[in-house]
A and B are shown apart, each in its own frame.
Chain A
Amino acid sequence: DAGVTQSPTHLIKTRGQQVTLRCSPKSGHDTVSWYQQALGQGPQFIFQYYEEEERQRGNFPDRFSGHQFPNYSSELNVNALLLGDSALYLCASSLVTATYGYTFGSGTRLTVV
């Protein structure tokens, strides 16, 4: 049974560019959350998607947007990249009730130069 799959694993972008990160949730999960983990810090909640709608949002600017597809997979889009957006982006999937907790992917390492 596959866990959470994220792609790509690494990428390098230039300031001002746009990036799309992808996440396939664990089989049976219907909710996807995205987190940003800066170097040496704990993950920070970006937003959560359920039934193709944004259900909760953390304290991130509108440059960060997302989408959930009918198959529960999700994308995170970041526009007008800043150097400070360099981080590990983690996707976590769960049931909407989070009854059995959250399963995290290995993350996408984004470097903005």
Chain B
Amino acid sequence: GDSVTQMEGPVTLSEEAFLTINCTYTATGYPSLFWYVQYPGEGLQLLLKATKADDKGSNKGFEATYRKETTSFHLEKGSVQVSDSAVYFCALSEGFQKLVFGTGTRLLVSP
């Protein structure tokens, strides 16, 4: 079945450092790909998405490109802030079906 694999955390960075969180997926068809963010004590917020190969999703300085050839959707940000500290989930959805999530990557940014 479909699955998502994320790099294990925590990822610890200093403010203004470059961020990469790796995500790869396995799917039978052509899924849509998502990054969600979860702040402490809260639900999930959609950060960005891409619906087809080579699409780039972007939001709040975060970017991810849908790479079909490597089945990847890595999350990047050029300069992280303390307020970016959260848990980040990569997810996929085929058609209008359920979301399949990775296990999450905790990001800790220090001043």
Contact = CB atoms under 8 A, between A and B. Distances in A.
* A, B: real partners: yes
Interface of A: 4, 33, 35, 40-45, 48, 56, 58, 90, 92, 96-98, 101-107
Contacts, number: 51
A43 B101 contact: yes
Contacts of B58: none
A102 B89 contact: no
B43 A90 contact: yes
Contacts of A92: 44, 99
B58 to A, nearest CB: 15
A45 B97 CA distance: 10
Q: Is the interface of A mostly helix, strand, loop or mixed?
A: loop
B7 interface: no
Contact of A107 (B43, B46, B97): B43
Interface residues of B, number: 22
Contact of B98 (A33, A90, A103, A104): A33
B103 A41 contact: yes
Nearest to A91: B43
Interface string B90-111: 0101001111111110000000
A102 B99 contact: yes
Given A98-B93, A101-B49, A56 B98 contact: yes
Given A41-B103, A42-B89, A42-B102, A96 B46 contact: no
Interface of B: 4, 34, 36, 41-46, 49, 89, 91, 93, 96-104
Nearest to A94: B96
A97 B45 CA distance: 19
Contact of B101 (A42, A98, A103): A42
B45 A42 contact: no
Contacts of A97: 96
A4 B41 CA distance: 15
Contacts of A43: 44, 89, 99, 101
Contacts of A101: 34, 46, 49
22 contacts: A33-B98, A33-B99, A40-B104, A42-B89, A42-B102, A42-B103, A42-B104, A43-B44, A43-B99, A43-B101, A44-B101, A45-B98, A56-B97, A56-B98, A90-B44, A97-B96, A98-B96, A101-B46, A101-B49, A106-B42, A106-B43, A107-B42
